[in-house]
Structure 1
Amino acid sequence: MFHALPVPRRLQGRPARLLRRWLALSLLLGGLVALVLPGSARGTPGAATVVSARDLPAGTLLSAGDLEVVDLPEDVRPQGATDQAASVEGRMLVGAARAGEPLTDVRLVRAAIPGTGDPGSSTVPVRLADAGVAELLRPGQRVDVVAAAEAGRDASVLASAAVVAAVGAPDTAEPRAARAGSKGPLVLLSLPAAIATRVAATSLERSLAVTLR
């Protein structure tokens, strides 16, 4: 009859301790994977999203080189984002954007610049009554266009939320003090076609001003 050999006391309980250590190490490694790959660990699918490829200033007329398509988890992808870079090209950026920032619909306007092919909009060049105000404008800003009160006619708003497409360079040969109160550089405003016609016609007979939004 065979008898089991006695297990030395120093070896008793060692397999259980090794198993517990192995399980703890497995849990630790699993947690690290979840931190490094949150989308894969949580099962959150990514969605193609158009973002800015670099830092872009307000008023940028977007081209293919300004855009990049990346995958973003659905839970962080903002509403109004798009996965089609072609739908963003040729539009104007209203506000500055950092590199990697998703470009949503509220940050973009159809830039009515000659050659963009937007049949619903037009670009109208105007000179404002005050050169100093014109020099404050930047591409991408929204303004309301106001016809000044003249010859018994009250001031009236000709257009709301017009987009500044471009501002001509001021005449630097004339001192700023002398330019104040005089007509300043040409300002290109992007407007719906019907309203742009009205603004252009009014600018021929009345002084124009803008209020900043």
Structure 2
Amino acid sequence: MRALRRFLDRRHRLIATAVAALAMGCAVLALRPDTASVTVLTAAKDLPGGVLEPADLTPAPLRPGTVPDGALRPGTPYAGKILTGPARRGEPLTDVRLLGPGLLAAHGEGTVATPVRVADPETARLLSPGDVVDVLAATSTWDGDAPATVAAEDVTVLATPGGESERGALIVLATTSAQATELASAQAGGRLSITIGPRAG
């Protein structure tokens, strides 16, 4: 009986030691940092939007499950492209934040990006990408300004890159080709202004 008891005690100690070692191993694995990561391009500083410079973005590692769809990767040629709106330092940049095919795809087939200049820069500064506006055109004549007419209705703001000049503030709109033609004609013959409506659903 004593021999059996000693055998069982020894066996229990071995099992307890094995369980303790297993628990310790699980704890180490849980505390060990996950070394797997995906490198993406993020804003190197707070960015106001507009034309990107080479130093505006910087590589940063993200865990695979946190990488947004369309995230820009190192090697993506972004310098000179237009960031459609402000970005915070450290924010991962995606293809839909840049003016281009990825952004237009979200607005349906046949959509084109149409840059226009709004006569009042203060009004243009109220806009953000995603706002829906009507564009009004006022034509100057020998007798003064003619009544304003609607050049485009319910168009979405794609980007507000700024670019203020004596001709007004630059904005980029998502329009049809027909609306783009109408806006070009209206801008050539007068001044453009906007009214801001509710955002699309």
Counterpart of 1:205, as a letter, is G
2:187 corresponds to: 203
What's the TM-score once normalised by structure 2's chain length? 0.59
Pairing partner for 2:44 from 35, 54, 68: 54
Residue 103 of structure 1 aligns to a residue whose secondary structure is coil
1:98 corresponds to: 88
2:135 corresponds to: 146
Structure (1/2) with the larger strand percentage: 2
Pairing partner for 1:79 from 55, 66, 69: 69
**What is the total number of aligned residue pairs between the two structures?**
175
Counterpart of 1:187, as a letter, is A
1:189 corresponds to: 171
Return the offset for 1:13. Answer: 2.8
Is the Cα contact below 8 Å between 2:46 and 2:88 reproduced in 1?
A: yes
From the superposition, tell whether residues 92 and 142 of structure 1 become closer, same or farther in structure 2 (CA, over 3 Å).
Answer: farther
Unaligned runs of 5+ in 2: 101-111, 140-145
Pairing partner for 1:13 from 9, 32, 36: 9
Distance 2:45 2:15 in 1: 52
From the superposition, tell whether residues 159 and 60 of structure 1 become closer, same or farther in structure 2 (CA, over 3 Å).
Answer: same
What's the TM-score once normalised by structure 1's chain length? 0.56
2:27 corresponds to: 31
Unaligned runs of 5+ in 1: 1-5, 41-45, 111-119, 170-183
Deviations 1:136-183 (A, max 9, x none): 357x675645124775774231793342221538xxxxxxxxxxxxxx
From the superposition, tell whether residues 28 and 56 of structure 1 become closer, same or farther in structure 2 (CA, over 3 Å).
Answer: same
Deviations 1:96-152 (A, max 9, x none): 333433211222225xxxxxxxxx977554413xx64245357x6756451247757
The two structures, once aligned, show a CA RMSD in angstroms of 4.3
From the superposition, tell whether residues 154 and 66 of structure 1 become closer, same or farther in structure 2 (CA, over 3 Å).
Answer: closer
Residue 66 of structure 2 aligns to a residue whose secondary structure is coil
From the superposition, tell whether residues 16 and 60 of structure 1 become closer, same or farther in structure 2 (CA, over 3 Å).
Answer: farther
Residue 17 of structure 1 aligns to a residue whose secondary structure is helix
From the superposition, tell whether residues 203 and 109 of structure 1 become closer, same or farther in structure 2 (CA, over 3 Å).
Answer: same
2:119 corresponds to: 127
Counterpart of 1:79, as a letter, is D
Among all aligned residue pairs of Structure 1 and Structure 2, give the percentage whose two residues are the same amino acid: 29
Residue 166 of structure 1 aligns to a residue whose secondary structure is strand
Q: Which has the larger radius of gyration?
A: 1
Residue 31 of structure 1 aligns to a residue whose secondary structure is helix
